[in-house]
């Protein structure tokens, strides 16, 4: 089966999932190719040029209406002889909504990567036009079934995978500076979801000997640097790095700090555990608490409780035997549970079942009557002030 995975090459979790699926499903006879729509003038990042042969780029004229773009997209899917598509909800509005207009013979698989109301509303808008739904965490599945009417028997959990081979040879090295605890943050520098501005409060409660490395970039980088300006001796900024560097960077650090307000299933968390970098992460129900066994493979703290986060880091700083024990436990569980083979086997099972049954799907709509459903349009939540929205997210997770 030839499958289009809707994404453009980029450094990030969604594209990492594509690479894992492409490698993992090949032995089952499935060819997975990335498929991305973009305006004329778009160029694939230099760091992603090696991925050009593994996918197909649909270039659309600037200013072309959305319905006309949709027509070209359907034609391209037919031209490339795809048997099915994997739709990453809200990866792109056009490519999410296209599920309602694809020919009946195209298998449609929806993947939900996040737990926000906006993501769920978008998923609900195409629910009846897809053959099966995959959530990347138990929380995703539970919310979709219990709150958005998704059928329990056709809504699945498949956790994201990491290339465990890339981490196998990177053994944590704590001999270089045994008295210095090395803390790491990896991810998008954005406060609303990642809680990065809490890093200052965490450092406020820690000894000055503890060092923090920040990897990534994003819209709140300047604000974060201002907040951490008093810690310039303790903090290093590496910016965006190649995914190939991540295993070495993680193996060279002791603790991963992840103060997120919400996540679908963070790849960074799994990668850190594979590298033996002990995670100290927000307890997000049905997400991080299904990955981390508190005080066995890492530490969980209530969302927004930076005092508890700092206490866990300080405990590991003062007890290196505990640090080594948890590091080893974390490394042991990743290959079997989060390996590419495990994820690919589950996808193959679900794809095969969906392809054989193909029932219960609403007939496709006429593309000449292209419309955008309410779930894919900005809702009232768009107008809620960000501070209030962040507070509500914290309250929701703590309750």
The answer to the question of residue 261 being in a domain is yes
Residue where a domain terminates, one of 310, 338, 366: 338
- pLDDT value at position 170? 65
178 in the same domain as 100: no
- The predicted pLDDT at position 276 comes to 94
Assess contact for 196 and 189: CB atoms under 8 A: yes
Residue among 297, 311, 217 nearest 12 (CA) = 217
Phi, psi (degrees; rounded to nearest 5) at 375 = -65, -15
At residue 281, the pLDDT reads: 98
Picking from 338, 355, 372, the residue at the C-terminal end of a domain is: 338
Token pair in block for residue 6: 């809707």
**Structural domain contains residue 397:** no
Q: Tell me how many domains the chain contains.
A: 2
Gap between the Cα atoms of 288 and 269, Å rounded: 8
Q: What is the CATH number of the domain that holds 274?
A: 3.40.50.2000
Q: Is the domain of 201 the same as that of 349?
A: no
> Is residue 359 in some structural domain?
yes
Query: Does any domain span residue 29?
Result: yes
pLDDT tens sequence for the chain (399 residues): 999 999 999 888 899 999 999 999 999 999 999 999 999 989 998 888 999 999 999 999 999 999 999 999 999 999 999 999 999 998 889 999 999 999 999 999 999 999 999 999 999 999 999 999 999 999 999 999 999 999 999 999 999 999 888 887 766 665 555 678 999 999 999 999 999 999 999 999 999 899 999 999 999 999 999 999 999 999 999 999 988 899 999 999 999 999 999 999 999 999 999 999 999 999 999 999 999 999 999 999 999 999 999 999 999 999 999 999 999 999 999 998 999 999 999 999 999 999 998 878 999 999 999 999 999 987 766 767 878 878 777 887 777
State whether 153 and 8 are in the same domain.
yes
The number of helices, as runs of H, and strands, as runs of E, in the chain is 15, 13
Say if residue 214 is in the same domain as residue 291.
yes
Residue 238 φ/ψ, nearest 5 degrees: -95, -10
Determine, yes or no, domain membership for 399.
no
Alpha-carbon Rg for the chain in angstroms: 22
Same-domain status, 114 and 63:
yes
| Neighbour count for residue 337 (Cβ, 10 Å) | 14
What is the domain range of residue 119? 2-161+339-392
Residue 6 belongs to a domain: yes
Q: What is the largest CA-CA distance in the chain?
A: 67
Model pTM greater than 0.95?
no
Tell me: do 187 and 305 sit in the same domain: yes
Residues 221 and 366 in one domain: no
**What does the pLDDT read at residue 172?**
64
Indicate whether 28 belongs to any domain: yes
Query: What does the pLDDT read at residue 391?
Result: 79
Q: Let me know whether 55 and 131 are in one domain.
A: yes
**Which pairing describes strands 132-135 and 107-112: parallel, antiparallel, or unpaired?**
parallel
Q: Are strands 255-258 and 182-186 parallel, antiparallel or unpaired?
A: parallel
- 356 and 321 inside one domain: no
**Same domain for 301 and 365?**
no
Q: Scanning the structure block, which residue is given the tokens 């729509």?
A: 37
Q: Is residue 89 part of a domain?
A: yes
| 78 and 108 together in one domain | yes
- And the tokens for 302? 């209530």
Beta bridge partners of 135: 112, 157
Single out the residue in 292, 317, 338 at which a domain terminates.
338
Helix, strand, coil percentages for the chain (3-state, nearest 5): 50, 15, 35
What is the CA angle 11-298-270, rounded to 5? 25
User: 3-class SS at 279?
Assistant: strand
Domain identity same for 113 and 192: no
């Amino acid at each position: 089966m030839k499958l289009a995975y809707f994404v453009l090459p980029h450094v990030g979790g969604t594209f990492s999932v594509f690479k894992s699926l492409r490698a993992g499903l090949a032995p089952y006879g499935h060819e997975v190719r990335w498929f991305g729509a973009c305006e004329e003038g778009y160029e694939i990042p230099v760091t992603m040029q090696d991925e050009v042969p593994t996918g197909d780029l649909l270039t659309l004229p600037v200013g072309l209406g959305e319905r006309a773009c949709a027509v070209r997209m359907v034609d391209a899917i037919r031209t490339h002889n795809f048997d099915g598509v994997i739709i990453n909800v809200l990866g792109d509005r056009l490519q999410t909504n296209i599920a309602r207009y694809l020919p009946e013979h195209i298998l449609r698989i929806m993947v939900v990567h996040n737990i926000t109301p906006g993501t769920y509303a978008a998923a609900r808008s195409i629910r009846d036009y897809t053959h099966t739904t995959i959530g990347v965490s138990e929380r995703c599945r539970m919310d979709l079934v219990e709150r958005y009417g998704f059928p329990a028997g056709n809504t699945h959990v498949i956790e994201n995978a990491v290339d465990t081979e890339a981490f196998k040879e990177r053994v944590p090295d704590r001999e270089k500076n045994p008295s210095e605890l090395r803390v790491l943050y990896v991810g998008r520098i954005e406060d609303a979801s990642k809680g990065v501005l809490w890093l200052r409060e965490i450092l406020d409660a820690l000894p000055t000997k503890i060092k923090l490395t920040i990897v990534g970039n994003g819209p709140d980088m300047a604000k974060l640097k201002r907040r951490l300006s008093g810690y310039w001796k303790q903090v290093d900024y590496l910016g965006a790095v190649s995914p190939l560097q991540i295993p070495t960077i993680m193996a060279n650090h002791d603790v991963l700090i992840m103060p997120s307000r919400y996540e679908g299933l963070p790849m960074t968390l799994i990668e850190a555990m594979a590298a033996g970098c002990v995670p100290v992460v927000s307890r997000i129900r049905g997400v991080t608490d299904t990955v981390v066994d508190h005080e066995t493979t890492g530490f969980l703290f209530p969302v927004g409780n930076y005092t508890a986060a700092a206490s866990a880091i300080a405990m590991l700083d003062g007890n290196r035997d505990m640090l080594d024990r948890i590091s080893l436990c974390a490394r042991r569980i990743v290959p079997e549970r989060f390996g590419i083979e495990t994820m690919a086997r589950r996808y193959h099972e679900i794809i095969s079942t969906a392809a054989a049954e193909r029932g219960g799907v609403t007939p496709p709509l006429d593309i000449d009557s292209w419309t955008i459903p309410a779930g894919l349009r900005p809702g009232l939540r768009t107008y809620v002030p960000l501070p209030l929205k962040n507070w509500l997210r914290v309250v929701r997770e703590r309750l």
